[in-house]
A = this chain, B = another copy of it.
Amino acid sequence: MANCPDFDSAFREQFGELLRWRRDVRRFLPDSVPSALLETVLASVAHAPSVGNSQPWRFVRVDSSSRRQGLLNSFRRANDEALAGYRGERAAHYARLKLSGLAEAPIVLAVFTDEATNQGHGLGRRTMPETLRYSTVGAVHTLWLVARCHGLGVGWVSIIEPDSVRTLLEVPSAWSLTALLCLGWPVEDHVDPELERAGWQERSRSLPVLIHR
């Protein structure tokens, strides 16, 4: 057994800063991201937790301009539909928000969950099969934090039609879309969330609710 490192208070403080400065980034510089850096970031997800050690995450990098345009079209349809669900001042406010960097980001990654994987032999997902997709979410969060350590911004686009993305990217039928990510160098660093700066939704400052039973 290797020796477990000591995570001292200086590290904990800096890790807290990483959590505070991780942002959902939607404004990217046009500068490209070296492939080696993307590989370094992707390699880190091997250490994300997964149900039954199933590692069900699958990554698709979207570079072809026709497919990038297809993603943007799907975003615009989903966004128009979402806008139509708001009324009055709330609708006007929604229309002013910048909700994705899909048009500008140098890297777009679609992250899928392989629902048919046999890795893990089904352990832990009989009564809660959604934990397979939750494992992919843990991988996305890991990637996000590691990217931020390198100064890279990540934005998670959920205003998208998951079935359109699957069709567009021609992935195996057992893969479900878990996340669509934009990666690149942020135009600016911010400690406050974009939606808070834009006045849409503040972050609650109080401790999370803890109920005792």
User: Would B212 and A63 count as touching, CB distance under 8 A?
Assistant: yes
Instruction: Give the contacting residue for A45; candidates B17, B97, B208; CB below 8 A.
Output: B208
Copy number in the complex reads 2
CB of A61 closer than 8 Å to a CB of B? yes
Residues of A within 8 A of B (CB): 1-2, 4-5, 7, 11-12, 14-22, 24, 39, 42-49, 51-55, 57-64, 67, 78, 81-82, 85-86, 90, 94, 97, 99, 119-128, 130-131, 133-134, 137-139, 141-142, 144-146, 148-151, 156, 158-162, 169-171, 177-179, 188-191, 193, 195-196, 200-205, 207-213
A20: nearest residue on chain B (CB-CB)? B47
User: Given A46-B208, A137-B138, A207-B43, are A1 and B191 neighbors across the interface (CB < 8 Å)?
Assistant: yes
